[in-house]
Every structure is written in structure tokens, then in C-alpha cells.
Structure 1
Amino acid sequence: MARRRQAVTIKHVAADAGVSLQTVSRVINKEPNVRPQMARRVQDSIDRLGYVPSIAAQRMSGSRSYIILALNDRERTISDWRERQGADWVDQMLLGGMLKCAEHGYRLMFELVDTHSDHVERELRGAIAALQPDGVVLTPPHSDNRLIADLLEQNRIPFARIGSLAAGPGIALTMDDAGSSRLATDHLIELGHRRIAFIAGPPEYSLSGWRVDGWRAAMGAAGLSADGLLETGDFGFASGERAARKLLGLGDRPTAILASSDKMTLAALEVARALDLEVPGDLSLISFDNTPIARFTHPPLSAVDQPVARTVARAVELIIAAQKGQDTPREPVVVPAALVLRSSTAPPRDADIHGN
């Protein structure tokens, strides 16, 4: 039987280089207080032995854990996983966060926390004690939870608040929800639509309001009324179905709908079919998120592509910079979204009636 190869540890490197464990750790962590000659000696041993640094070895210096903790909403995340409907917010968050952490020798760890729970402080304190993260990425609605922000501030842990412009500590980042909503609405207006409805997300998410603001701004700038054309959902299919039925049941129904999630837009598409409305002939649709389901509907949905991976990657960069004592932006960092056009938008059939 072949003997299993023994794993190379930091102790092997220290013995090979003839230095202390702490010196190896300082070289691994690229700390400045190591003589160049000593750093080369340790690195030669690392390369010769094929040693791969572990988190435990990196922690030996005592100054960093090399862990970034990302928090996401427990209830909504578990619901998305169980429904298996193609929502990939978590996938994109891990994509951006993990790759950027790897570039800097860090690890990304992912935790689910219920922001509405009375136990949120206890849960977060437990995670901090167990992982001792160098930084934390907060996603909506955690990014607007002042209790969480204050707790991280008290523990002197750098953190990023994605999707929040609320006053308070932390590094604020947005995906320009108002601007991208206005961009999508402007596109529909350019096509000749005048009755453009909006299905908003839940008010507990700040970005829901920003998207409504962008839609209203575009409608107002074009001299169009938004009265009676706003409904609110919870990002889920059922709420989108209810909202779409109300809007498409109006006497003067909208010729276009912009919805604040792919699931709600998919629901609007199903309601349109049930009412024998053709998309995009009778009704144009634009979605938010651009998750996989947006590409595989019939017709494929035009969508605002949320740059989740790029935003989380930028958040990680800024957290690591803050952990090293570097200055971070005082103003919110904006990572712009893009409008991806597919087959669900077209000029309205009655465009000529409205003078187009």
C-alpha cells in the first residue's frame, strides 16, 4: 500500500529555513518588518517544499484573521434556494467576493442572518467571536440595520454597506438603482410608450424607493403622468402576479411595465399571456436583476443587469484597504448597472395614436 504523503506545514518551512514560526508568518503576510534577505530565504523554502499557507498560519502574526465575512438575509436566501427559480444574487456575491479575496490572500466566509430577528445581535456577536473577521460585507436589508452597523463599529471591524445611503459608519456602495431605473424608463419612452407602470420592491429595502424615484423622474422629465401606475410587491412571483393583474386590469392599461425583480417580471409575463396580450406587441416588459431566468423566458426579458459581483469585489477591496489603515471614500461608491435589451420591448401598437 502506498504511503500517504505528509502535508507540508509552517513548521516544516521554519525548520527548512532555520527561522522561527513567527518569521515565516510575517513573510507569508508580507509584513514590512522582515529583512529582504530573510524574506527570500523563507520564500525559497516555501517554493521548494510546495507549502500552501493556511489561515491558521496567516493568523500567527496576531494582527489579522484574513477572513472577510459576508452577511445575507436568511429568510429570503433560503426561500430562493428552495424555490430553485434561478435567482443568483448569492452566486454573484460569492463570485466577486471570493475572487477578490483570493487576489489579496484572504478568504470569504458567508453567513445568513435574519435582520428581523430579536437575536440578530447575539448571532452576529457569535459569528464575530468565532471567525474574528477582518471585515464584513453587509447586503440589503442588513446594510440599513443600524444595530448591526453600530455593533461592527464598536468592535472596530471595517465593513461595507451595499445598497445603503443612510447616514452612519461603514463604506457605502450602490449599484445606481435610481439611475438604472431612469435609464430603463427612458428606453421605453424612446420607443413611444406613454403609459409605463412600475412594480416596486418592498419598502424595507432602500433600493426599492430609489428605483421608484428613477422611474418617476423619467416620467416627469417626459411630461408623463405616473398616477395610478405604481404597485408594490416583495420581489416574489406571487406579489408580481397580483400587481400585474391590477395594472393590466385598468381601463386605460399600461403598454409597458418595469418591475423591480426578474420574478415579478416573469409573473407579469404570465398574466399578460392569460389576458391574451402579446409581449412585446401589446405589452413591453423590463426587469431588474438579469438572473438566468431572464434569458430563458419566451420572449427573453430585457433587464437591468445588477453588477453584484463587481460591487462585492469593490467592497472587499475597500475593506482590506481600511483594515490596513488606508483612507476609504467618504462619499458613496457607485458601481453602475447596465441595461441589457432583449426581445420583450418594442414600440407600442398604438404609438401613432399618441403622436409618434
Structure 2
Amino acid sequence: MANQINNCVLQRQVFPGLSQQALGYMTEKTKKTAEKKAPPAKEKSVIETPAMKQPATVHDVAKLAGVGSMTVSRVVNGSTAVSAKMRKRVEDAIKELNYVPNLAARAARSGQRRIGIIFSNPKSSNLGDFLMGAFAASSALGCQLLIEPLLAHPQPIDALKKLIELGAQGVILPPPICDSLEAQQLARRHDILPLSFASGSPRLHSPAVLIDDFAGARAMTHYLQSLGHTKIAFVKGDPKHSPANSRAEGFLAAMAEANLEVPAHWMPDGDFTYRCALDVGKVLLDVPKKQRPTAIFACNDEMATGLLAVAHGLGLKVPQDVSVAGFDDTAMATAVWPQLTTIHQPLAEMAKSAVTMLDDMLKTTPRISEHDGVVRHFVAPYKLMKRDSTGPVGGVTAT
């Protein structure tokens, strides 16, 4: 209940700030990587719908209601200088045309820069770092943040529609909505800049901030192999999230490079949650020793923490009996025992870069377009954090 109350407050908060020089976005090496991973000509997405007609304008509403544009504006702005009968006609026309007031254009004329942020899981240990980075950037740059939770809406796309109503001019889209072609198209129809955050497959000419999830997972798997592990399991993340798929691919690539096979049941489906890991962990670990993996790599820290709990409950020593590794390096990674070996994802810095990139694009005149041929991807560096949850096969804690 407390989370629901907090969500209601967050979605209406606005955070002002000062100004700061914008960051650079992308090295030549990053550009080549992005071009190499560019999607085919016909882009696919998690959510894809046929092209929609252009959004209704104030003039369309006025024509349907049989009134002047000024009357429509008065109704939209809550003016009392409109009769009840006239207001009803305008409201009916607005509903029929699905008209959304262009608050973003109004904000642009006033010199305000509003950046919307959608977040998916209010319980995620990632959220705190992300919001701290976003708030720091908005305060320094003098832009405003509009926060909208996905859980407040029946469909992910509805969160974006709400930010459009609130006047966002740019929007930061997390997984899985960052991979939605429908969301990208909806934002651009309303002249809003969408930025994909932590996408595993960002569109080439749309702004994006990410890490190389494939390379990070590959590096972790190679590290486990360097400790002598050949029997390695991988707990997958939510398949609707492209970073989860990239991490699974990185794991499989590293195993193939070492000529190691992975039994199908050693790559169970997960959903990024602690509870899921409790069920998966029992399947992987509550078996005779010869049938157990000697190391388990989870797609995120929350699931890795669940695996630690299962191991402790079964009387297994970590890392002597089984090594456990995670991904993200959230606060949870160092709050458990033993502390998690994981891949550090600099979420606060990534959030700063995302807000800065959008703010810089919004301040550019004329407005920067995704069709200008420039790749604006900021690929943040990941780091392998070696801690006590991993060690040599049957050996002592790694140092």
C-alpha cells in the first residue's frame, strides 16, 4: 500500500534545477559497435501496431463541437467563462477525437524543458540509483522531471500517454517499453523525443543510454571459467526485456568459446525477482552433488540473492560448494553474505547522461531529428566486481 501511495505522489512531482554543460555522447568505437548491431530495415519490437492517423488538434475539436478554437482552449484550461452546455459539447468532441492538449508545445514556448521518466518496478533496487542520477542532472541543467510509474496503468503505453498529457518534451523509456515501436511512434507523433534506457537493442538513430550487456555477461562467464568452473548454470531474466536476452546470449557465447555445453534445464526461465529464484534455486541445487552445477550466474542481483538463500537453506557453502554471481551491482549485492560477485552497471551516471542528452537535444534549434544520420548512443562502461560469492571449484573464497 505504501508503494501505491508513493507512486501517486511521484507521478505528479516536478523537479526544477540550474544549468550545466552537456555531456558528449559517443566515441567512434561506440559508433562502430552500434552500427554493427543495427537492426534490419524492418524494425521489430515488443509491441507493434499499424500506423495511426495524426493526433487531433484544437481546430479539429472546435470544428466538431461547432465552436471557436478559443472556446476549446478555455475548456481545456478550466476557465469558468464557458456555459455548461458549451463545455459539454467541447468535452464530448475531445472524447470522440481522443484529443490530447499539446502541453509540450506550450512548455517549449515558455522556455521550459520537461523530461518524462517512466519506471517499471517501484520495488527494484535499481530505482534509487537511477532517480538520484536523474535528479542530480535535472537540478544542474535547469530542466524539469515528470515521473510516471508503469504499475499505475493497465498497459505500458498508457504511462507514455500520461506524460504526453503532462507536457513532457522528451521521455526516458526503460525496458520493456524502450523496445516498443508503438511507443517510439507515439512520442514522435506528438513531437516528443524518446530515449531508450538500458535497451539491449536500441534503434540506430534514436538516442539511447546503455551498457554492453552481451559483453558484460560474457566477461562474467569467462571469469567463472577461469576459476575452474565448467558446470555453469544461468538463470534467465524476463524475456520481454531485451537486456535479459543479451545477457543470456553473452553467457552462451562464452560457454561455446570454451567448448562447454549447457543442459537445457541449467538455463531456467526467470523474471528478475527474488521469489522466482527461490523456486529455480531448488530445482538446480536440491539434487545429488554430481547433478549440480558448480556455479550459477543469475541475470540480476535480486535473483542471485535468492539463490544464496536457497544454498544456505540446503546447507551448501558458498562459494566452496557452489559459486553464485549476479548482474547490476545494486545495493543488495553488498548487503548479503557472502557479498555478490557481479557486473557493475553505473545506473546513476547513466541516468545523468540520459537527462543531459535529452536536455541538450531539446535546447538545440532547430530540433534535432533522428533522421539526421547521427548516432547518439552513450555506452557506459561496465565493471566486473569480484567478491566472496565466487571461488575456485571446491576451493576457498576468491580474492
TM (norm. structure 2) is 0.65
Maintained 8 Å contact 1:71/1:139: yes
* Aligned pair partner of 1:66 in 86, 100, 113: 113
Q: Which residue identity does 2:164 align to in structure 1?
A: I
* Aligned pair partner of 1:170 in 206, 228, 237: 206
Residue 134 (structure 2) pairs with residue 97 (structure 1): yes
The aligned residue for residue 151 of structure 1 is 186
Q: Within 5 A, what are the aligned runs for 1:256-335?
A: 256-323=295-362, 324=364, 325-326=367-368, 329-330=374-375, 332-335=377-380
Q: Which residue identity does 1:71 align to in structure 2?
A: I
Aligned counterparts of 2:248 and 2:182: Cα–Cα separation in 1: 27
Q: Within 5 A, what are the aligned runs for 1:202-281?
A: 202-228=238-264, 229-250=266-287, 251-281=290-320
The aligned residue for residue 3 of structure 1 is none
TM (norm. structure 1) is 0.73
Maintained 8 Å contact 2:281/2:310: yes
The aligned residue for residue 343 of structure 1 is 388
Of residues 191-200 and 90-99 in structure 1, the stretch that sits farther from structure 2 once superposed is 90-99
Q: Which residue identity does 2:274 align to in structure 1?
A: F
The aligned residue for residue 20 of structure 1 is none
Maintained 8 Å contact 1:321/1:327: no
CA shift, 1:273, in A, is 1.6
Maintained 8 Å contact 2:206/2:376: no
> CA 1:90/1:64 → structure 2, altered by over 3 Å: closer, same or farther?
farther
CA shift, 1:63, in A, is 5.2
Q: Which residue identity does 1:258 align to in structure 2?
A: F
CA shift, 1:135, in A, is 1.1
Aligned counterparts of 1:60 and 1:145: Cα–Cα separation in 2: 26
The aligned residue for residue 223 of structure 2 is 187
The aligned residue for residue 110 of structure 1 is 147
CA shift, 1:167, in A, is 4.1
Aligned counterparts of 1:284 and 1:174: Cα–Cα separation in 2: 28
Task: Give identity over the alignment, percent.
Answer: 29
3-state SS of paired residue (2:291): coil
Q: Which residue identity does 1:91 align to in structure 2?
A: G
> CA 1:60/1:113 → structure 2, altered by over 3 Å: closer, same or farther?
closer
Q: Which residue identity does 1:316 align to in structure 2?
A: V
Aligned counterparts of 2:117 and 2:293: Cα–Cα separation in 1: 40
The aligned residue for residue 3 of structure 2 is none
CA shift, 1:61, in A, is 7.4
CA shift, 1:342, in A, is 1.2
| Bigger relative contact order, structure 1 or 2 (CA pairs below 8 A, ≥6 apart) | 2
> CA 1:148/1:276 → structure 2, altered by over 3 Å: closer, same or farther?
same
CA shift, 1:317, in A, is 2.0
Maintained 8 Å contact 2:117/2:173: yes
3-state SS of paired residue (1:220): helix
State the Cα deviation string for residues 226-282 of structure 1 (Å, max 9, x = none).
223211111111211111112224542111111012221111111112222110111
Q: Which residue identity does 2:177 align to in structure 1?
A: H
Structure 2 residue runs of 5 or longer lacking an equivalent are: 1-17, 21-105
> CA 1:254/1:115 → structure 2, altered by over 3 Å: closer, same or farther?
farther
> CA 1:147/1:168 → structure 2, altered by over 3 Å: closer, same or farther?
farther
Larger Rg: 1
> CA 1:29/1:72 → structure 2, altered by over 3 Å: closer, same or farther?
closer
3-state SS of paired residue (1:223): coil
Aligned counterparts of 2:340 and 2:157: Cα–Cα separation in 1: 40
Aligned counterparts of 2:148 and 2:159: Cα–Cα separation in 1: 10
Over aligned residues, Cα RMSD in angstroms? 2.6
Q: Which residue identity does 1:153 align to in structure 2?
A: R
State the Cα deviation string for residues 94-127 of structure 1 (Å, max 9, x = none).
1211111222211222111249834x55553333
Aligned counterparts of 1:175 and 1:342: Cα–Cα separation in 2: 21
Number of equivalent positions = 284
